[in-house]
Amino acid sequence: MNNQKQQKPTLSGQRFKTRKRDEKERFDPTQFQDCIIQGLTETGTDLEAVAKFLDASGAKLDYRRYAETLFDILVAGGMLAPGGTLADDMMRTDVCVFAAQEDLETMQAFAQVFNKLIRRYKYLEKGFEDEVKKLLLFLKGFSESERNKLAMLTGVLLANGTLNASILNSLYNENLVKEGVSAAFAVKLFKSWINEKDINAVAASLRKVSMDNRLMELFPANKQSVEHFTKYFTEAGLKELSEYVRNQQTIGARKELQKELQEQMSRGDPFKDIILYVKEEMKKNNIPEPVVIGIVWSSVMSTVEWNKKEELVAEQAIKHLKQYSPLLAAFTTQGQSELTLLLKIQEYCYDNIHFMKAFQKIVVLFYKAEVLSEEPILKWYKDAHMAKGKSVFLEQMKKFVEWLKNAEEESESEAEDGD
Per-residue pLDDT tens digits of the chain, which is 419 residues long: 455 555 555 545 444 444 444 444 576 888 999 999 999 999 988 999 999 999 999 999 999 999 999 999 999 999 998 888 887 667 889 999 999 999 999 999 999 999 999 999 999 999 999 999 999 999 999 999 999 999 999 999 999 999 999 999 999 999 999 999 999 999 999 999 999 999 999 999 999 999 988 999 999 999 998 889 999 999 999 999 999 998 888 888 889 999 999 999 999 999 999 999 999 999 888 889 999 999 999 999 998 888 888 778 889 999 999 999 999 999 999 999 999 999 999 999 999 988 999 999 999 999 999 999 999 999 999 988 999 989 999 999 999 999 988 876 665 555 555 55
- Cα distances (angstroms) measured from residue 44 to each of 6, 50, 116, 338, 350: 69, 8, 18, 70, 68
Contacts 24+ apart (CB under 8 A), 74-81: 74/113, 74/114, 75/131, 75/135, 75/150, 76/146, 78/33, 78/37, 79/29, 79/30, 79/33, 80/138
Alpha carbon distance 174, 176 (integer Å): 6
Alpha carbon distance 128, 118 (integer Å): 8
Tally of residues, the chain: 419
Alpha carbon distance 76, 97 (integer Å): 6
Q: Residue 126's closest CA among 71, 48, 208, 45?
A: 71
